[in-house]
Amino acid sequence: MTQARPRFRTIKEYLDYDDGTDTRYELVNGELVEMPPEMPINNTIAVFLIVTFVRLGIPHYRLATGHQIVVSSSRVTARQPDLVVHTEESVSAILSGSRVLQAEMPPPLLVVEVVSNSEEDQRSRDRDYVEKRKEYALRGIAEYWIVDPNRNTATVLALNGNEYQEIGCFQEADRVVSPTFSELDLTAKQVLNAGM
């Protein structure tokens, strides 16, 4: 017998749900959508960037993996970026007892998505390059990075009004330019290879 997927009317119902597994979900149109397992390089890139930001002086408590952010979308209710660089205000808000960064809470400073299977899975590619780009912009997140190991690119986008403007699509020995972190001294290759 097939078990029906639960439907949720509110973000609270979603947050209170536990299916007893370690499966990652996003909430889309009130339904749980199972997120595919991350490629090992995705987590390695996120950890490398965490270490990099700590070296730049960002306090460790403002860097997170696994934090969910409520977004404004006709389909999706909450996203879970591969890496979140919080502001003092956004980290205080989410650590005050909320399991997600709610819509009324301050936005983080930067989110990073590491694209999985972008060449084989058009849906995955559209999610990171199109949908999340719109959602994170409407959420007011100052900077959005799309790291794509399949295409060997690191794209940096900066918020301009309610839309992102592409700062650059960096490859190989290109220095990654971040308007938020001007002191950043990384090449695209370093990011894509997670410093190896």
pLDDT tens column, 108-118? 999 999 998 65
Q: Of 170, 168, 172, 173, which is closest to residue 158 (Cα–Cα)? A: 168
Model confidence, pTM: 0.82
Q: Answer yes or no: is 26 within a domain.
A: no
What CA–CA distance (Å, rounded) separates 49 from 43?
A: 10
* Domain contains 30: no
41: which 2 tokens? 């390089």
Is the predicted pLDDT of residue 76 greater than 50, yes or no? Answer: yes
Confidence of residue 136 (pLDDT cuts 50, 70, 90): very high
Look up residue 57 and give its DSSP letter: T
Per-residue pLDDT tens over the stretch 10-64? 666 666 666 666 566 666 666 666 665 566 778 899 999 999 999 999 999 999 9
164 domain residue, yes or no: yes
Would the pLDDT of 2 be above 50?
no
Helix (H) or strand (E) holding 123: helix 122-126
Please check whether residue 145 lies inside any domain of the structure: yes
Q: How does pLDDT run across 148-192, given as a tens digit for each residue? A: 998 999 999 999 999 999 999 999 999 999 999 999 999 999 999
Q: What is the pLDDT of residue 21?
A: 60
Establish if 7 belongs to a structural domain: no
Residue range(s) defining the domain that contains residue 47: 38-192
pLDDT tens digits for 94-110?
999 888 899 899 999 99
pLDDT value at residue 1: 42
Q: What is the CATH number of the domain that holds 68?
A: 3.90.1570.10
Model confidence at 139: pLDDT above 70: yes
Is 9 among the domain residues? no
Establish if 13 belongs to a structural domain: no
Whether residue 11 is contained in a domain is answered as no
**What's residue 46's pLDDT?**
94
> What residues contact residue 188 under an 8 Å CB cut-off, 6+ apart?
152, 153, 154, 170, 171, 172, 173, 174, 176
Number of domains into which the chain is organized: 1
